[in-house]
Chain A
């Protein structure tokens, strides 16, 4: 008080007052700043309208160093991949308003909104000294924001792969999930009449392109499985009429028998770290599950029942193994720890269950179920709850997971003399089922991990 008044000579008080006023102002300002919190409308949106995202994918441009057709093929790969996921709807190119897009320039978004495009992919392919160069940008049409922009270089013969990689980038950016388009599938290629089928090991891109045969077809082959490295596969072959599990290096063609067991070995699968193989060994009409360390060749017996225990598959963390067994009379699904302890049955519905496969995400186990004279493909949680059938029909079998755990591939046998197995994919919703076009019949698919 006194100080203030004593300081009251003309100028100082002004300063003090200003100070005081500014203090007042800031206090008020702070109060005002908090106002909006009260004046604001706050809404919880708890329901959505889940639909495939409309995406516009104009043909990628080429700069003259590359055939326009080749450029268009790459954008077609992108379009087909995204469409096959069921999460995107590519918009018919005839509806496009803006033409002559340039990857280096933002599009006129007002030309894309009327055709309901929510995402737009602009790409360009060129040839740099013999290397293919692909650039693309992904735009959010509604907000006008660029979501992704990348470029890739590759050998011209890997043009399709570039398309898959671009599709993966788009898929991940929009869904948050890892894509699975740049992956491959090993399967058994089947040709010839039904009573004299030739079965050869084959590998292809996830979309059915670039099929390459790995064996000659002299010997029956079954259940090929990828190693996590994607360079090796393990499978069962009847070579020399002695069914054994083999290991094959895809790049070198080198082949070897896994372990030296007295009986028949079958249903092999890699551990998630690629260091071990788990499989069934049959002796005297009784099959048990063994694991073998690929380095030390040491084998460990994991089950010991008078029944047939087979189709073992590790959980993604490698701590547990799911397998099928008929120890309770009919085929059912069991889970045990990786050392064979704690075996317990998880399937409980009517019918019999087989070929369990643990999802790479760990949250589900896919299986084949035989019930009511039909073979069904379904999923359940690792504790056996939440069983859900995704597809049914005359004969469906052998599910395998895409690396992101959202899509399954399986084979479906068609009846009749001319019938045969075909490969299909289905996503977890059960609504998006698609044929994977292969040159001939195909069975026993196994999806690769992500390719690095």
Chain B
């Protein structure tokens, strides 16, 4: 028993020593980690900034695809399957509307929609964007790396059994570091930080009411029919800073019936008709994404 426990202890000690001995190397390796750290520094304010960057990207993207598919005039209809082919063909040909007089039929919306759907994914991938932000904010970046190494170095020197914990904490550390860095970062950026921080970033009741009233004024729902007067449509849309729509709103819920389609179209028309939206510029981060639920039940008394 004792033997085995001694062996065990000895091995553990050996491992610990080994780990300690290797730590210097660990430092060097840590340096690259620091580069990644900024990625972790995703606070709401930064996130919204990142999103803004993405917005631009989206805009560019749609433009690019459009030129690629510039069919001038779709020869509309094939003989026997007239309707469906016609629709499809129409969809294919559309180039950019503004640039060229030729049509941008259904295709536009489709293309636009595709970018939008990916958009959420892009949002999920802040990796690429954080880097640009760093570059843009070259000054803050420099401060960040310096403090971090210092901290790590201290920890290592202090080394104890805590080390193990430190190792275990690698990931958490990374997360913490960003936070600790965050504060210094913020200080230089104060104005931005102030805008994006916490409670100030909500729309006031008045602003919400005005927006709701405006959209209600633009919304011309299809006449209620049997079962059609209780169809609810959820639209997701994104706005530019000037209050205009980005691309085409996405219908966030689903219904296959002609009634749903008509209801969804009416909601989309309302959103288009109402733009641009006059919203407080300082709160762009809040209203750039909106989800609108069009619910006619109250109107038709079928709720």
- Residues on A close to B: CB < 8 A? 1-2, 4-6, 8, 10, 13-14, 17, 20-21, 23-25, 28-33, 35-36, 39-51, 53, 87, 102-110, 118, 135, 137, 139-140, 142-153, 172-177, 361-363, 404-406
Contacts of A142 in B (CB 8 A): 268-269, 272-273
Interface residues as binary, B251-275 with A (CB distance below 8 Å gives 1, 0 otherwise): 0000001111111010111101100
- What CA separation (Å) do A17 and B28 show in the bound complex? 12
**Contacting pair A177 B32 (CB below 8 A):** no
Contacts of A44 in B (CB 8 A): 212, 292-293, 295
- What CA separation (Å) do A32 and B299 show in the bound complex? 37
Q: A89 to chain B: closest CB distance in Å? A: 11
**Contacting pair B293 A43 (CB below 8 A):** yes
Decide yes or no: A17 and B223 within 8 Å by CB, A30-B124, A102-B73, A144-B108 being known contacts.
no
28 A-B pairs within 8 Å (CB atoms) are namely: A8-B22, A10-B29, A17-B33, A24-B171, A30-B124, A33-B120, A36-B120, A41-B203, A41-B289, A45-B267, A45-B294, A46-B296, A49-B217, A50-B223, A103-B76, A110-B97, A118-B269, A142-B268, A143-B248, A146-B87, A148-B83, A149-B76, A153-B82, A176-B225, A176-B261, A176-B263, A177-B228, A177-B259
- What CA separation (Å) do A137 and B48 show in the bound complex? 41
**Contacting pair B295 A45 (CB below 8 A):** yes
Q: Which of B171-208 contact A (CB under 8 A)?
A: 171, 174-175, 203, 208
- What CA separation (Å) do A107 and B100 show in the bound complex? 11
B246 at the interface (CB under 8 A from A): no
Which of B171, B222, B260, B290 counts the most A-chain CB atoms under 10 A from its CB? B222
Report which of A45, A108, A143 forms a contact with B292, defined as CB distance below 8 A: A45
Decide yes or no: A28 and B29 within 8 Å by CB, A50-B220, A149-B87 being known contacts.
no
- What CA separation (Å) do A448 and B109 show in the bound complex? 39
- What CA separation (Å) do A29 and B122 show in the bound complex? 9
Contacts of A32 in B (CB 8 A): 42, 47, 50, 123-124, 126
Interface residues as binary, B104-140 with A (CB distance below 8 Å gives 1, 0 otherwise): 1110110000000000110111110000000000000
Q: A175 to chain B: closest CB distance in Å? A: 5
**Contacting pair A176 B259 (CB below 8 A):** yes
Contacts of A145 in B (CB 8 A): 105-106, 108-109, 248, 268
- Residues on B close to A: CB < 8 A? 15, 18-19, 22, 25-26, 29, 32-33, 36, 39-40, 42, 44, 47-48, 50-51, 72-77, 79, 82-83, 86-87, 90-91, 93-94, 97, 101-106, 108-109, 120-121, 123-127, 164, 167-168, 170-171, 174-175, 203, 208, 211-212, 215-223, 225-226, 228, 236, 248, 257-263, 265, 267-270, 272-273, 285-287, 289-299
Q: A426 to chain B: closest CB distance in Å? A: 14
**Contacting pair A176 B262 (CB below 8 A):** yes
Q: B292 to chain A: closest CB distance in Å? A: 5
**Contacting pair B33 A21 (CB below 8 A):** yes
Decide yes or no: A48 and B25 within 8 Å by CB, A1-B168, A29-B127, A363-B226 being known contacts.
no
**Contacting pair B225 A177 (CB below 8 A):** yes
Report which of B26, B83, B174 forms a contact with A24, defined as CB distance below 8 A: B174
Contacts of A139 in B (CB 8 A): 105
- What CA separation (Å) do A12 and B10 show in the bound complex? 27
Q: Taking A2-B19, A10-B29, A151-B82 as given, write out 6 further A-B residue pairs in contact, using a Cβ cutoff of 8 Å, ordered by the A residue number.
A: A1-B168, A5-B167, A48-B221, A105-B102, A106-B104, A142-B268
- What CA separation (Å) do A137 and B208 show in the bound complex? 38
Report which of B25, B83, B299 forms a contact with A150, defined as CB distance below 8 A: B83
Report which of A8, A110, A151, A152 forms a contact with B76, defined as CB distance below 8 A: A151
Q: A138 to chain B: closest CB distance in Å? A: 10
Report which of B77, B125, B175 forms a contact with A151, defined as CB distance below 8 A: B77
Q: A260 to chain B: closest CB distance in Å? A: 40
Report which of A13, A33, A109 forms a contact with B123, defined as CB distance below 8 A: A33
**Contacting pair A29 B124 (CB below 8 A):** yes
- What CA separation (Å) do A175 and B257 show in the bound complex? 11
Report which of B15, B42, B73, B260 forms a contact with A104, defined as CB distance below 8 A: B73
Decide yes or no: A35 and B25 within 8 Å by CB, A24-B171, A41-B290, A45-B292 being known contacts.
no
Contacts of A8 in B (CB 8 A): 22, 25-26, 29
Residue in chain B with minimal CB distance to A4: B167
Contacts of B104 in A (CB 8 A): 106, 144
**Contacting pair B102 A106 (CB below 8 A):** yes
Contacts of B226 in A (CB 8 A): 361-363, 405
Contacts of B217 in A (CB 8 A): 49
**Contacting pair B216 A47 (CB below 8 A):** yes
Residue in chain B with minimal CB distance to A363: B226
- What CA separation (Å) do A175 and B168 show in the bound complex? 62
Contacts of B103 in A (CB 8 A): 105-107
